[in-house]
Amino acid sequence: MLRPSVRYPTLELRVADSCTRLEDTLAIAALYRCLVRLADRRPDFNRGLTGASRAIAAENLWRAQRDGVRADIIDEELGTAVPFASHLDAMLVLVAEDADALGCQREVARVRGIAAEGTSADCQLSTFAKARAQSLPEREALGAVVDWLAQATAGQQAS
């Protein structure tokens, strides 16, 4: 979520889940920069949203929260749901000019990698499931997740 700060003359970048990989953090921050620039250069963008448009946005938020990068996102123009990766590609085309102007094309392109490889949450769930499949008790499986987080955050694991 992006919102104006109540206390400072800035925009706040609010993220529901933190990234364990630095390159993912930079990618998401760069994408937000591009979206802010897009909103500034195209003040008419999304001006004609209807009540139905807002309901679709709320539904898409719920789908993204539930299914992450595996979500099918409703495309209002197409009138159908599309895979998250397709929706992301359309967004990246939309902000390409902004990425060029800000010099962050490489960072923004990394967002596709996040969608393809999965998020930190995906890796944590996978680590937990693998530990439980090895008959580890829940507490030890959670310990495996913590160990993974420590290693991934320190840059000792690729995923």
In a domain, 60, yes or no: no
In a domain, 64, yes or no: no
Q: What was the pLDDT predicted at 157? A: 60
Structure tokens at 75: 């495309």
- Same domain for 108 and 92: yes
pLDDT given at position 57: 92
pTM of the entire structure?
A: 0.82
| Statement to judge: residues 8 and 43 lie in one domain | yes
156: containing domain: 119-159
Q: Are 41 and 98 in the same domain?
A: yes
The token pair that represents 151 in the structure block: 């290693």
Q: Are 93 and 25 in contact (CB under 8 A)?
A: no
Token output for 62:
């719920």
The number of angstroms, rounded, from the C-alpha of 157 to the middle of its chain's C-alpha atoms is 20
Cα separation of 23 and 29, whole Å? 10
Is residue 44 located within the same domain as residue 27?
Answer: yes
157 shares its domain with 99: no
Return d(Cα 26, Cα 32) in angstroms, integer. Answer: 10
Q: Indicate the helix (H) or strand (E) that contains 74.
A: strand 72-75
pLDDT computed for residue 7 by the predictor: 86
Say whether both 157 and 103 belong to one domain.
Answer: no
Q: What is the pLDDT along the chain (159 residues), one digit of tens a residue?
A: 667 778 888 877 766 567 888 889 899 989 999 999 999 999 998 888 899 999 999 999 999 989 989 999 999 989 999 999 999 999 999 999 999 999 999 999 999 999 999 888 899 999 999 999 999 999 999 999 999 999 988 876 644
* Predicted pLDDT at 93: 97
Domain count, the chain: 2
Length of the chain: 159
